[in-house]
Amino acid sequence: MIFDKLYIKGCTFSIFGQLGPEAIFSYPIPDDSSLELEDRTHYTSRYSQRHYMQVAVKSISLLLSDYTFENPDGVKLDDVAIFGVLPYPDIKTIGFTYFTYYFSTKSQQYIPATLTLFVPENHRSYIYDSLSRLKEPIQDFTREMITIVNQNQISSELEGMEHFQKNISQFLQFFSKLQNIQAKPISPITKHRRIKIVFTGLENTGKTSFLLTIKRNFSELPSLLPTTEPTQDTLNFLGTTILKWDIPGKEELRNVIIKKYETYIFDTDVLYYFIDIQNPRISESMEFLQNIVEVLSEHEQKIPIIFIITKFDEDISQREQIQHNLAIIKAKIIPVIRDHPYKFFHTSIFSIYSVLNAFSYGLRQLSPNRELLEHLLKDFISKNDILTGLLMNENGLVIASVQRPLIVKNNILPINQVFEIAAPQFTTIAHQFSQFNPRAEGTAIKYQFSEEDFVYLRKFQVHEFTFFGLFYSKSSKTDKILKEKFEKFKNRIENLLILYIV
């Protein structure tokens, strides 16, 4: 059977049908199905009809929102293409799900649809290691399923069964593509995900100051000494141990780092590259970056590169020389990095948000649940007339952030200002408050910093992890809304947070 050697043990295509969420097509066929085929190789005892239905309900329910029938913030449902990972502990399976919408020719409205792949828990790292390669075939196959559903006016599992047998060949072709992907692994498959991030750039570009700011060790900044050799450290992020390499860019070490690529750069998940805006040393920096990109390309490592433009302090940020340096840096970098995903951040150790946001962004790229979390967060703030929403862990790292289009009202603060004003004090207040009042988790702390600007902090727990929701609105009554409705939102997202990065 095709599944004997595959890590992916099955899949189901689901829609919001006549009676709610429906598992329209599932393969392999469960033993307890009423569908009768002569060829028993298409059947399985691993999953039952109830299991497929459970996945349909869970995945479609996550996608259902006010956007399905109303569209207050201009979301184009045709463009929704979101991936996520959900746990199914009763069948010891991780579901890798593609969420989208399609226009139903039968109901004449947009319908949520999902395609879920089933992977045993002990092979969960396969999903994370193969994310980029799995996405295209999954999207293509989902489009095929949507075409079949529309052509045959299917809106229920029963109607799907009537057309299933003639579509088995498409499932077999799809799993053949998955088999080809598995045959060329990027790294060994393990039970737990292994993550490696690298910080590098020329010497004296602010890497260590950046890391100390993340750790909040501000007292060490004045006496900081340059990093003279590669150092390895660990970071615990939502239950995952992340291996951090701080690789100095001292001239005599650069060639060593490139030659010992297997030790320092190979199998990196995200790379942060530092440039000092006040002393960019562009030629040297571009040469070092070029060497890194070349060895990454040689080993087919297409990883995100996060460019950290350091010492971008507010009092000098608009000076002509600084803006000139910034323009030159970006113009030189873009041709060098080829097809690597990239992002620029301007940071200053005097702005904690600039540092935390830049670091958080890199970690968010490692999560398949980021887009779905932001989709649900946007749905929540739109329904409750909130302008900005951030989800953070207890260290202030941003897990998801959304802001509604600024067409609603004038004088709306951007996310960075909301965070800069409120987050540092609020996390401290929330910790202190919860120590004296165990019920603090169920309340929202309100802070008014102008006549009509309010920030609310809502602490919540998911298993052993502490999180904060930071919300900005123009209403003094948002705390009541959060008290009434936040718990339901938390219940929708907690499984996404549990598997955010592990």
Alpha helices, H only, 226-281: 251-259, 261-264
Per the omega criterion (within 30 degrees of 0), is the bond before 28 cis?
A: yes
pLDDT at 219 over 50: no
Q: What is the pLDDT of residue 170?
A: 92
Pick the CATH number of 195-364 from 1.10.490.10, 3.40.50.620, 3.40.50.300, 3.40.50.150: 3.40.50.300
User: Within 10 A of 267 (CB to CB), how many other CB atoms are there?
Assistant: 15
Amino acid type, 79: D
Tokens, residue 173 = 């072709």
More confidently predicted of 224 and 392: 392
pLDDT at 439 over 70: no
Q: Which residues contact 493 (CB under 8 A, 6 or more apart)?
A: 373, 376, 377, 391
Band of pLDDT at residue 138, cut at 50, 70 and 90: very high
Domain map of the chain by residue range?
A: 2-182, 195-364, 370-498
More confidently predicted of 412 and 282: 282
Provide, rounded to the nearest whole percent, the portion of the chain with pLDDT above 70. Answer: 83
Q: What is the pLDDT of residue 222?
A: 45
Q: What is the pLDDT of residue 140?
A: 96
Region 76-96 average pLDDT: 88
Sheet holding 454-462, edge to edge: 398-403, 388-393, 465-473, 454-462, 444-448
Band of pLDDT at residue 229, cut at 50, 70 and 90: low
Question: Please, what is the average pLDDT of the chain?
Answer: 82
pLDDT 10s digits, 147-198: 999 999 999 999 998 888 888 999 999 999 988 888 876 655 555 567 888 8
CA distance 282 to 327: 11
pLDDT 10s digits, 88-123: 988 999 999 999 999 998 888 889 999 999 999 888
CA distance 172 to 176: 6
Provide, rounded to the nearest whole percent, the portion of the chain with pLDDT above 90. Answer: 30
Residues, the chain, total? 502
CA distance 134 to 501: 17
pLDDT at 32 over 60: yes
User: Which range among 66-75, 106-115, 212-221, 224-233 shows the weakest confidence by mean pLDDT?
Assistant: 66-75
pLDDT 10s digits, 3-29: 677 889 999 999 998 889 999 999 998
CA distance 11 to 243: 33
pLDDT 10s digits, 307-320: 999 999 888 989 99
Please list the residues that pair with 391 across neighbouring strands: 400, 469
DSSP-derived pairing of the beta strands 231-237 and 195-201: unpaired
User: Which range among 176-185, 228-237, 296-305 shows the weakest confidence by mean pLDDT?
Assistant: 228-237
Tokens, residue 5 = 């050697």
Question: Does domain 370-498 sit in CATH 1.20.1260.10?
Answer: no
Query: Dihedral through CA 166, CA 168, CA 172, CA 178, nearest 10?
Result: 120
355-423-242 Cα angle (round to 5): 45
Band of pLDDT at residue 442, cut at 50, 70 and 90: low
Q: What is the pLDDT of residue 394?
A: 78
